[in-house]
Amino acid sequence: MDMTRGAYRRIVALSVGLVWAAGLAGAAETGARPFTAGIVFEHLSRTVAWQGDTAASRVRANQVAFRAGLDLGRGLGLGLTAGLSLSGLGDLVFDGLPISLELGSTNLLGMVLGAEVEADLLDRGDIEIGVAGRFVSSFGLARTWNLEGFAVPGRASGKVNWMEASAGPRLTYRISSGFAPYLEAAVRWLRVDARMEETLEDLRGSEKKTVSGDIAFSFAVGGDVPLSERLTVRVKAGLAPFAGGVDGLASVGLAYAF
């Protein structure tokens, strides 16, 4: 078992080294800086129908994460993010507990990890056509709080896990000043599971709510705004229409090129 783990670690280290070397070589050919690091804030809202429920509910998530990017050259870029998320479930009601519970504005903490890839498919001078894909997963951390207003002591504990995958085309216009605005369309797949436990003296109960795989389409505008040779602001805002309304997404980040 130890030999297997050692071999696995060596393979992973070799793969990372090869990807890094390819990035350095590709960036050297294009004159680009191969590595960036920074911080990013993101907001996501999705209106979903929970399994077994007829009423829709809005899932909200705010994320603050560190981001590392690697330019592999020839229009291919990779990115990794890691940080914290605050997830809210809106007016979702857990009615399978001893006392029905609605979280309302309560947010649940989680650890978020993400990976993304960007690739240029067609370059026509200032106009570039490419694709962008991303996978993000938030692992919930349990939160416990006391239940007020009852004759006997009570408490509740809950956490929420979610993951989202998105992919779609991107049209970028590169301006001589370095500003690169883009238009993007994407199909988005979301899975959520929320778990609640409740204790009210001798009464105990637990309930799980699930969104097994919600599909939505989003349209966004964004761009990279250079502040200096090494420092860049990355912004993005978009909409995800659904029957009866519109959800939103937004992000803003700061990247430093090494």
Mean pLDDT of the chain: 87
> What one-character DSSP code corresponds to residue 97?
S
pLDDT at 33: 62
Q: With 70 as the cut, is the pLDDT of residue 36 above it?
A: yes
Instruction: Give the separation between CA 217 and CA 240, rounded to whole angstroms.
Output: 6
Mean pLDDT, residues 152-170 taken together: 94
Q: With 50 as the cut, is the pLDDT of residue 56 above it?
A: yes
Q: With bands split at pLDDT 50, 70 and 90, how would you rate the model's confidence at 149?
A: confident
Mean pLDDT, residues 150-160 taken together: 90
Burial state string for 161-196 with b = 16 or more CB within 10 A and e = fewer than 16: bbbbbbbbebebebeeeeebebebebebebbbbbbb
Neighbours of 92 (CB within 10 A): 23
* Structure-block tokens of residue 58: 């809005």
Instruction: Give the separation between CA 219 and CA 80, rounded to whole angstroms.
Output: 22
**Looking at per-residue confidence, does 106 or 10 come out higher?**
106
Domain boundaries defined on the chain? 1-31, 32-257
Q: With bands split at pLDDT 50, 70 and 90, how would you rate the model's confidence at 1?
A: very low
Q: What is the DSSP string of 40-79?
A: EEEEEEEEEE-TT-SSEEEEEEEEEEEEEEEEEETTEEEE
Mean pLDDT, residues 107-119 taken together: 96
Q: Is the CA virtual torsion 216, 220, 226, 227 positive or negative?
A: negative
**How is domain 32-257 classified at the architecture level of CATH?**
Beta Barrel (2.40)
pLDDT at 176: 75
Burial state string for 21-51 with b = 16 or more CB within 10 A and e = fewer than 16: ebbbebbeeeeeebebebebebebbbbbebe
Pairing mode of beta strands 245-257, 231-242: antiparallel
Mean pLDDT, residues 56-85 taken together: 94
Q: With 90 as the cut, is the pLDDT of residue 125 above it?
A: no
